[in-house]
């Protein structure tokens, strides 16, 4: 089976370079009409230029595809709304949104100014929120949508000097988790990509030999899969150097402490038991955790719930 996007419309943010460029080109190659969004800023978010986005559009057009560039700042909802309006006026719908735009302002937390923390949150978190909000009602009305967030190992696992970036990248996973619940009856699927790639965001963080293996094109297959009609839902897919994996947030079975033993000393004494991975599982909604705890308490106290 070949995944195709004929008659579908995709918006890819931060598509002038790196991963976004690769995603946009491959979506177009598979038949999608593509909005190549890029503010054209430097890696730290400063400046603006349409040159990179225009070059991607030219490449798509020269290959016989359909595309146009848009320089909306994803952190500005008014600009994002205007971009979506232009897309709908031109092509009538939006089927796919790839939230890829991002910046870096790396420093240790002790040296980081709050303005640099806020700016990274504005672009990564509110940028994803703004773009998603602008297409959400459209997708609900057409009863179809594919939305991809871009998370990172820096958010999932931590990375020295990236407290702002890591916080933002974990936030979009939480955003995804709720959108999946609210969008599923409307045919909207939301997933997250955790990429490792050689881009201007990582060019000075890795040795040259490693960068040679970490091409953006090796990550894009995960985006194409998540954008397809048969896409999964609520998945975090890690991708890099041609390798792909699922990231899972699990919760241990845990322990129950009787009322007379509900204190920190007892918890400390039984911490190894509480953290045993035997029986750990992935929960798919916050309410599952509540019911799990209430069920354990009810069993211990002889209380029948429900």
Catalytic choice (157, 165, 186, 256): 165
Q: 256 an active-site residue?
A: no
Residue 269: both structure tokens together: 């004494």
The four Cα atoms 39, 41, 47, 49 give a dihedral, to 10 degrees, of -50
Q: How many CA atoms lie within 13 A of 233 on its CB side?
A: 18
Q: Mapped to the 3 state alphabet, what secondary structure does 262-278 carry?
A: CCHHHHHHCHHHHCCCC
Tokens of 132: 């998603």
CA gap 110, 168 in Å, rounded: 18
Surface-to-core class of residue 159, CB atoms within 10 Å of its CB (0-12 exposed, 13-18 middle, 19+ buried)? middle
Question: What's the burial of 9, exposed, middle or buried (CB within 10 Å: 0-12/13-18/19+)?
Answer: buried
Paired sense of beta strands 33-37 and 67-70, if any? parallel
75 vs 245: CA distance, rounded Å: 30
Closest residue by Cα to residue 12 from 125, 94, 121: 94
How many beta carbons lie within 10 A of that of residue 89, not counting itself? 8
* Residues designated as active site: 165
């Amino acid at each position: 089976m070949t995944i195709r996007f004929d008659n579908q419309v995709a918006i890819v943010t931060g598509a002038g370079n790196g991963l976004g460029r690769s995603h946009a080109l491959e979506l177009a190659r598979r038949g999608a009409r593509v909005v190549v969004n890029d503010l054209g800023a430097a890696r730290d978010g400063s400046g603006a230029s349409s040159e990179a986005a225009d070059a991607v559009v030219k490449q798509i057009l020269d290959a016989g595809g359909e595309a146009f560039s848009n320089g909306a700042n994803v952190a500005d909802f008014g600009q994002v709304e205007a971009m979506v309006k232009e897309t709908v006026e031109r092509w009538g719908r939006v089927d796919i949104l790839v939230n890829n735009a991002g910046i870096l302002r790396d420093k240790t937390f002790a040296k980081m100014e709050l303005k640099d923390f806020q700016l990274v949150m504005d672009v990564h978190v509110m940028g994803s929120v703004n773009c998603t909000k602008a297409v959400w009602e459209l997708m609900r009305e057409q009863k179809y949508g594919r939305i991809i967030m871009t998370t990172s190992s820096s958010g999932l696992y931590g990375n020295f000097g990236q407290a702002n970036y890591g916080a933002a990248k974990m936030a979009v996973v939480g955003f995804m988790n709720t959108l999946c619940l609210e969008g599923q009856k409307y045919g909207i699927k939301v997933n997250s990509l955790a990429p490792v790639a050689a881009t201007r965001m990582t060019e000075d963080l890795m040795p040259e030999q490693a960068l040679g293996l970490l091409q953006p094109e090796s990550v894009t297959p995960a985006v194409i899969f998540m954008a397809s009609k048969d896409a999964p839902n609520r998945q975090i897919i890690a991708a890099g150097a041609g390798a792909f994996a699922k990231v899972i947030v699990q919760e241990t079975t845990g322990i129950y402490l009787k009322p007379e033993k509900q204190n920190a000393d007892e918890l400390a004494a039984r911490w190894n038991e509480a953290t045993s991975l035997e029986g750990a599982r992935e929960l798919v909604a916050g309410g599952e955790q509540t019911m799990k705890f209430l069920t354990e308490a009810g069993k211990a106290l002889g209380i029948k719930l429900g």
